[in-house]
Amino acid sequence: MKVNLNLNFFQSLKNFKFSQQELWFMLKAFIALILWLILNYFPKIDELIMLSIRSQTLFLMDIFGNADFVATKIYKTEIDARFFLVCKGTLVKVAEGCAGKSLLFLYASFIFIFPNKNLKRKFLFLLIGLLILHEYNVLRIVALSYVLKFNPDWYNFLHIYFFQTIIYVLIFLLIRKFIKTHENTSEQTNLRS
């Protein structure tokens, strides 16, 4: 079997030069990837996020007047950290993917990688953004629990399409706000110079 490679593509890369900013960006992206691989190895992070989601979810359900939801089981294994919300015929499994760790890391990585020298602003956007995304996730689980209890026909649509679309739009808006704030700060710095 003969493999036909188009070497023109690779030859065109030979003349391509990266700027110092591009190299620095790629290095930070590589560091973020390594950090993700390391953090993904530790199930304790998932467990902490799940415990936070569990306590906040039950707290909100108590506030909304539906105290008959109870987190009955918490599983903690290296593969899956989850809890069940149960209410007379309703079972909601909150699995590892529902914790949103990968989306939290995606947002944090972008803030880390973006070429902004103002560390105070980066830290502020990182903290506020992670908090907003985490709390959105808690509200999403509360809403899905009520949907599953009162109108289960809507559950799959809301879980798979609606809430996932909203989280990506939310991440986009947070990142856009961070970039706009960076651009406004850069313009003000240029005007002072």
pLDDT tens profile 49-61: 888 888 888 888 8
Let me know if residue 119 belongs to a domain.
Answer: yes
Q: Over pLDDT 90: what percentage of the chain?
A: 25
Whether residue 188 has pLDDT greater than 70: no
Q: What angle do CA 88, 161, 156 make, to 5 degrees?
A: 30
Whether residue 1 has pLDDT greater than 60: no
Mean pLDDT, rounded, of the chain: 81
Residue 176 forms beta bridges with which residues? none
Whether residue 70 has pLDDT greater than 90: no
- Residue labelled with tokens 């493999």: 3
Which domain does 131 fall in, by range? 21-186
What total of structural domains would you count in the chain?
1
- Residue labelled with tokens 């009520």: 146
Let me know if residue 5 belongs to a domain.
Answer: no
CB atoms within 10 A of CB 54: 19
pLDDT of residue 114: 85
Whether residue 78 has pLDDT greater than 60: no
The more confidently predicted of residues 97 and 12 is: 97
Let me know if residue 16 belongs to a domain.
Answer: no
Output the six-digit token pair for 110. 């972008």
Residue among 169, 184, 32 nearest 108 (CA): 32
Let me know if residue 6 belongs to a domain.
Answer: no
Let me know if residue 14 belongs to a domain.
Answer: no
Let me know if residue 191 belongs to a domain.
Answer: no
Let me know if residue 172 belongs to a domain.
Answer: yes
> Taking residues 156-164, what's their average pLDDT?
94
Let me know if residue 118 belongs to a domain.
Answer: yes
The more confidently predicted of residues 175 and 115 is: 175
The more confidently predicted of residues 135 and 33 is: 135
Band (190; pLDDT cuts 50, 70, 90):
low
The 8 Å CB, 24+ separation contacts for 99-102 are 99/46, 99/49, 99/50, 99/53, 99/137, 100/49, 100/133, 100/134, 100/137, 100/167, 101/40, 101/45, 101/46, 101/49
pLDDT tens profile 102-139: 899 989 989 988 877 788 888 999 999 999 999 999 99
The more confidently predicted of residues 11 and 168 is: 168
